[in-house]
C-alpha cells in the first residue's frame, strides 16, 4: 500500500487584519505559484492560441488542463508515453488538472449515473466511456500534473434541496474513494471539492466534511452556473468561514474580474476561468475601465494601444486599428494577440491584489478597482449588440 505524500507546500505570507484577503506561496515541483493566482485554461493541453513562452510572458505560473478532454483525445496513456503533461505541452510551470466531473455533466451525453460512477458518450466520436473516482485519479496520475482534483458531481442549477443534499453526499463519498485511489507515492497533490449548491447549511456541512479529509487543498465547485453574483458571494462567505486556513482555497470556474476581486476579499487563493481567453477570441478585450469591443468602427483608424501603459506584447507593438483589422479579417494572429492582452490584464490584476495585500492596502485596491470601472466605453455598445 502506498502512502501518498504531497510535495506541495503552502505558506501564507500576509493576511490582512480584519478582512480575509491574503497572499501566499504555493511551492510545486514546477516552480512556485504566488497566490492569489489565476490559472489560464488549457482545455486540450494548450491555452488556446498561446505557446508556453507566451504564457510565461503574460505572467502565468500555473495553468489548468481538462482531464475530460484529454481523456477523449489523445488519451492519458499517450500523454504519459510522451512524458506527462509538462513535457507534452512544453510548459515547465505548474499544472492543475480538473477531474472531468464538470465536463461529463455539461458536455457529454450522460448515459447512467450511479454510486459507482458515470457512463457517458464522448462528444467527439460518440463512444461510451465510464468515469469513476478511481478512473479519474488514474487518468490524472497518468497526466501527472502538480495538482489533481477529486471526482465530484457538479450539482445542477437550479436544484432542490433534496437533490442538492444527495449530490453533496455522493461527492463526499467519492472524495474518500479518490483519496484511497492514489497509487503513487510522490504523485500529484489531491484537492477536494465542496458542493452544496445554493444552500448555506448544505455548503457548511460539505465544507466541514471535505475539510476533515486529507486533501492538500480545498475547492468550491458548483459556482458560476447561472446564479446571481450576490448568491455566489454568500456561498463563498459561508465556505470560507468554515474551512481551515492552512490549505489553499480554490474557487473553480470563476470568473469575471469582479468575481476575482470579491473572491480574494473572501480569502480565496486560486481561480480559473475561460472568460479571458474565450472573450479574446470573440474580440472583447479587458481594460481597467471595462471591456473594449475591438470590432467597433471607432477603432478603425485608432493608433492607440488597447490600454495605455499595459506592458503586454500586444499593447507594446500594435494599434487598435491593426487589431480591429486582424479581427475583422479573421486572421489567426488576432486570437493570439487578444489572448495575450486579456491574460495580461487578468494576471496583472492578481499581481496588484497580491501587492496590495502585502502592503496592507487591499481595501484601497478594492475601491480603486471599482472606481476605475466607471465610464467604461464599450459596455454600452455591448448591451445593444
**Are β-strands 118-121 and 128-131 bridged in parallel, bridged antiparallel, or unpaired?**
antiparallel
Could you please report the per-residue DSSP string of 318-382? Answer: --HHHHHHHHHTT-HHHHHHHHHHHHHHHHHHHHHHHHHHHTT-HHHHHHHHHHHTTT-SSHHHH
84 binds a copy of itself (CB under 8 A): no
Q: Point out which span in 38-46, 213-221, 282-290, 376-384 binds a copy of itself (CB under 8 A).
A: 38-46
Residue of the chain from 13, 208, 328, 372 that contacts a copy of itself (CB under 8 A): 328
Q: Say whether 149 sits in a helix, a strand or coil.
A: strand
Residue of the chain from 37, 89, 136, 165 that contacts a copy of itself (CB under 8 A): 89
Cβ nearer to a copy of itself, comparing 161 with 300 = 300
Give the C-alpha separation, 104 to 91, whole Å. 26
Cβ nearer to a copy of itself, comparing 90 with 158 = 90
74 binds a copy of itself (CB under 8 A): yes
81 binds a copy of itself (CB under 8 A): yes
C-alpha angle 107-110-114 in degrees, rounded to nearest 5 = 130
**H/E segment holding residue 286:** strand 284-287
184 binds a copy of itself (CB under 8 A): no
C-alpha cell at 317: 507593438
The order of strands in the sheet holding 118-121 is 109-113, 118-121, 128-131
319 binds a copy of itself (CB under 8 A): yes
Given the residues 54, 98, 152, 378, the one annotated as active site = 98
Cβ nearer to a copy of itself, comparing 80 with 256 = 80
Cβ nearer to a copy of itself, comparing 19 with 51 = 51
C-alpha angle 195-127-182 in degrees, rounded to nearest 5 = 45
Given the residues 146, 259, 272, 378, the one annotated as active site = 272
As a residue count, the chain comes to 385
Q: Which residues of 162-233 form beta strands (DSSP E)? A: 189-194, 217-220
Q: How far is CA 124 from CA 60, 65, 129, 369, in A?
A: 30, 18, 12, 41
Closest distance between a copy of itself and the C-beta of residue 201, in Å? 42
C-alpha angle 103-105-110 in degrees, rounded to nearest 5 = 115
Cβ nearer to a copy of itself, comparing 199 with 322 = 322
CB atoms within 10 A of CB 364: 11
Catalytic residue list contains 382: no
73 binds a copy of itself (CB under 8 A): yes
State which of positions 229-248 bind a copy of itself (CB under 8 A). Answer: none
301 binds a copy of itself (CB under 8 A): yes
337 binds a copy of itself (CB under 8 A): yes
332 binds a copy of itself (CB under 8 A): yes
Closest distance between a copy of itself and the C-beta of residue 94, in Å? 18
Catalytic residue list contains 237: no
Residue of the chain from 7, 9, 78, 106 that contacts a copy of itself (CB under 8 A): 78
52 binds a copy of itself (CB under 8 A): yes
Give the C-alpha separation, 98 to 317, whole Å. 35
First to last CA, the chain: 59
145 binds a copy of itself (CB under 8 A): no
C-alpha cell at 257: 474580474
Count of residues that bind a copy of itself according to CB under 8 A: 39
Cβ nearer to a copy of itself, comparing 52 with 59 = 52
336 binds a copy of itself (CB under 8 A): yes
**H/E segment holding residue 6:** none
Q: Which residues 6+ apart lie within 8 Å of 162 measured at CB?
A: none
Active site residues: 98, 272
Point out which residues bind a copy of itself (CB under 8 A): 44-46, 48-53, 73-74, 78, 81-83, 87-90, 300-301, 303, 313, 317-319, 321-322, 324-326, 328-329, 331-333, 335-337
Amino acid at each position: 500500500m502506498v502512502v501518498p505524500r504531497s510535495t506541495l507546500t503552502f505558506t501564507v505570507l500576509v493576511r490582512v487584519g480584519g478582512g480575509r484577503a491574503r497572499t501566499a506561496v504555493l511551492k510545486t515541483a514546477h516552480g512556485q505559484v504566488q497566490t492569489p493566482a489565476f490559472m489560464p485554461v488549457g482545455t486540450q493541453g494548450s491555452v488556446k492560441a498561446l505557446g508556453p513562452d507566451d504564457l510565461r510572458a503574460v505572467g502565468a505560473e500555473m495553468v489548468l488542463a481538462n482531464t475530460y478532454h484529454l481523456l477523449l483525445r489523445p488519451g492519458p496513456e499517450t500523454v504519459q508515453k510522451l512524458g506527462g503533461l509538462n513535457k507534452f505541452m512544453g510548459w515547465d510551470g505548474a499544472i492543475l488538472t480538473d477531474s472531468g466531473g464538470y465536463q461529463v455533466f455539461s458536455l457529454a451525453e450522460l448515459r447512467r449515473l450511479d454510486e459507482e460512477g458515470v457512463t457517458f458518450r464522448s462528444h467527439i466520436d460518440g463512444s461510451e466511456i465510464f468515469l469513476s473516482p478511481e478512473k479519474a485519479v488514474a487518468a490524472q496520475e497518468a497526466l501527472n500534473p502538480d495538482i489533481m482534483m477529486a471526482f465530484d458531481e457538479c450539482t445542477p442549477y437550479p436544484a432542490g434541496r433534496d437533490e442538492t443534499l444527495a449530490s453533496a453526499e455522493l461527492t463526499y463519498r467519492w472524495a474518500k474513494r479518490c483519496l484511497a485511489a492514489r497509487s503513487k507515492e510522490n504523485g500529484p497533490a489531491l484537492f477536494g471539492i465542496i458542493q452544496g449548491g445554493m444552500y448555506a447549511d448544505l455548503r457548511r456541512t460539505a465544507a466541514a466534511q471535505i475539510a476533515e479529509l486529507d486533501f492538500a487543498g480545498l475547492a468550491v465547485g458548483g459556482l458560476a452556473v447561472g446564479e446571481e453574483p450576490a448568491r455566489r458571494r454568500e456561498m463563498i462567505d459561508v465556505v470560507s468561514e468554515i474551512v481551515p486556513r492552512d490549505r489553499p482555497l480554490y474557487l473553480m470556474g470563476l470568473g469575471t474580474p469582479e468575481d476575482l476581486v470579491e473572491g480574494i476579499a473572501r480569502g480565496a487563493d486560486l481561480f480559473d476561468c475561460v472568460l479571458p481567453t474565450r472573450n479574446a477570441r470573440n474580440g472583447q478585450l479587458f481594460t481597467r475601465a471595462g471591456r473594449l469591443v475591438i470590432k467597433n468602427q471607432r477603432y478603425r483608424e485608432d493608433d492607440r494601444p488597447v490600454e495605455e501603459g499595459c506592458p503586454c506584447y500586444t499593447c507594446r507593438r500594435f494599434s487598435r486599428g491593426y487589431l480591429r483589422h486582424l479581427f475583422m479579417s479573421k486572421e489567426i494572429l488576432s486570437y493570439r494577440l487578444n489572448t495575450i492582452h486579456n491574460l495580461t490584464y487578468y494576471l496583472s490584476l492578481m499581481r496588484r491584489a497580491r501587492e496590495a495585500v502585502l502592503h496592507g492596502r487591499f481595501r484601497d485596491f478594492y475601491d480603486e478597482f471599482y472606481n476605475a470601472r466607471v465610464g467604461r466605453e464599450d459596455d454600452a455598445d455591448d448591451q445593444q449588440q
